[in-house]
Structure 1
């Protein structure tokens, strides 16, 4: 069950993400972190997201975006 929660949390982070330009004119995906911290910490430890403990949002990593796109297909969700 925890794996399903982790998958769906990553999907929700991805689906509710907004684009943000960085200092180097790169675009990143950012999402609010209103999810259980144990799940967010697991996603962080798996290099799927990163965040500061003081920030109210997270950034999706390249690996996180790639896995989220695979999960969209796995759960037959269209973005």
Structure 2
């Protein structure tokens, strides 16, 4: 339970920090490198593939060695 609370606290705190940086970049004429770095870093984290599964468990993946076998068949013609 404590881990879940700490995780949500970190998520909400970092989310608030990101929104503060974006708001300062848009609204404050004196916003600088710190705000830009925080905003760009948060946006970059959103590009991480957090919904990935291991290749062995993913649907539609090819088994180990399948490409090698297909290449050999193609080379034999």
TM class by shorter chain equals under 0.3
Larger radius of gyration: 2
Q: Work out which structure has the larger RCO, using CA pairs closer than 8 Å and 6 or more positions apart in sequence.
A: 1
Task: Give the number of the structure whose residues are more often helix, by fraction.
Answer: 2
TM-score w.r.t. structure 2 length?
0.28
TM-score, normalized by length of structure 1?
A: 0.27
The structure where strand makes up a greater share of residues is 1
